[in-house]
Structure 1
């Protein structure tokens, strides 16, 4: 996902950027102190970058990332650019996009956020040591300069961690969606005849997906009969049962008859309890009987 699009998904606007800076307490005096550190940070940016990745390399939990040369090479370049841009005093959308790119890279490489935070802390500790060494004649002023830089570091962290969390949630959502697709397969037996086997628990979300899949398949394959096999479904609650009945009615409205097969006593009891008009339902004892009935309705034999 492009960082500009990611900014939209994370609701990061100019106003949000300013709010984040305000949250970490970054002001005009901090900006002046950070700019004063520019030469020190830029001059040693490569050393700081090396320190960051050396710490990661020392952790077994980061081995998956470290053993990915392409990811490390890109991350190394971005981290170095990150350090340089930290002390330029400008923290607008372009700066934020750089942070989001790093977050996306860490997420794609499956770098554990805890490991990243540990390496980031190590990096800032190294920078603090160098700053205090440079300001050894005025340690109070040196510490003030570091604190100002640290505020930007926390600003950056909020962006990178938000990105890692978002990408992880997006991955989980995509995987869940893929599972839903796999859990509602459509089998085209022959022209005008489809089979949809259902297995396991049918919750409201899966019931909705079932409706979408069935109606899309009817339109796509111009099906006249759809056999829905419930052999693998132990039971359904009232809401899902009603949803199933409405789906069958919707299929009929676009030209397809639905036959329910393999219905368990529990499912049959629920249908009876709900009060669905059974004259609108076509059922068969098992899948084989359902296909035979479908063949008779279509008026032909399977090729």
Structure 2
């Protein structure tokens, strides 16, 4: 076996092991699968009626009705849901089943079908099917309870697969937004002669903080500014490493002859600066941007009088 084939084989084995572990986590056994398959005649008999009643029920609610454009879409969704529940009753819970459930969960998420609507439809179906099992079943009550319990195990496993896809999609969306925020440019603005403003918006990581420092120092050199306001009101996710970079930026600005003012400082940032031992006497802080600009203007006036 080649090295590449061995890697693929190992990955497939890991996936199969993880899949089996998940089934074990839900305590799903081959006996549970067989019991659920035995429900097929009842499920086929009442399935369409349950789905029709469910949509008649939810379409009375405005939020749910807005999920559907017209009757044609509703009928298409009904057919898909019937197939979905038939596959549930077939209980062929292999890796391909799990992947297909995740794929469908992704379609639901992209289509805007909320977890509430998804779980609500599932709960309605299970409730009605359980009633039909208890009403039409000829077995003793203990066996009927076992049938319902097995169905609930597999249904909860099935729901978990789809909801994992919802969570993964939301996490991916958040990650994309955070990356976009990190990639936002940080302009160095000359508000007036001798005064620079650096507004920081979005997530500020170490890489972006280093870039900000270089832009700030270049701006001080090019404009010969004597005061700098670093406004972090719109910044998020400032940890100790980033706080240290901010301190270094303001220290470097002071060494170039510019007074540094940190505006919009939050309690969290203040705690981080204190925790890493920053000497706040080396720069000035301001509650907000307006106060920061006023302090910078006063510093420039004082510098002008001193220079005369």
TM-score range, shorter chain: 0.5 to 0.7
Shift of 1:142: 3.3
Shift of 1:118: 2.8
Separation in 1, partners of 2:57, 2:153: 22
- Secondary structure of 1:65's counterpart equals coil
TM alignment of 1:70-81, pairs within 5 A: 75-81=77-83
Separation in 2, partners of 1:61, 1:227: 55
Shift of 1:21: 2.0
Larger mean CA deviation between 159-168 and 226-235 belongs to 226-235
TM alignment of 1:163-182, pairs within 5 A: 163-182=165-184
What is the match of residue 32 of structure 1? 34
Equivalent residue in structure 2 for 1:89, among 91, 97, 104 = 91
Residue ranges of structure 2 left out of the alignment (5+ in a row): 1-13, 189-195, 222-227, 251-255, 266-278, 284-295, 298-308
Classify 1:14/1:60 alpha carbon distance in 2 versus 1 (closer, same or farther; 3 Å). farther
Contact 1:64 1:111 in 2 (8 A): no
What is the match of residue 274 of structure 2? none
What is the match of residue 198 of structure 1? 199
Contact 2:206 2:241 in 1 (8 A): no
- Secondary structure of 1:105's counterpart equals helix
TM-score by length of 2: 0.58
What is the match of residue 231 of structure 2? 232
Shift of 1:181: 3.2
- Secondary structure of 2:199's counterpart equals strand
What is the match of residue 49 of structure 2? 47
Separation in 1, partners of 2:74, 2:111: 9
Separation in 2, partners of 1:65, 1:147: 32
What is the match of residue 22 of structure 2? 20
CA RMSD of aligned residues (A): 4.7
Larger mean CA deviation between 32-41 and 61-70 belongs to 61-70
Residue ranges of structure 1 left out of the alignment (5+ in a row): 1-11, 188-194, 219-224, 249-258, 274-284, 287-303
Larger mean CA deviation between 164-173 and 69-78 belongs to 69-78
Contact 2:26 2:157 in 1 (8 A): yes
Contact 2:231 2:262 in 1 (8 A): no
Separation in 2, partners of 1:129, 1:33: 16
Shift of 1:59: 3.4
Contact 1:199 1:230 in 2 (8 A): no
Classify 1:89/1:178 alpha carbon distance in 2 versus 1 (closer, same or farther; 3 Å). same
Separation in 1, partners of 2:182, 2:72: 33
Separation in 2, partners of 1:39, 1:109: 32
TM-score by length of 1: 0.59
Classify 1:73/1:118 alpha carbon distance in 2 versus 1 (closer, same or farther; 3 Å). same
- Secondary structure of 1:66's counterpart equals coil
Classify 1:246/1:160 alpha carbon distance in 2 versus 1 (closer, same or farther; 3 Å). same
- Secondary structure of 1:17's counterpart equals helix
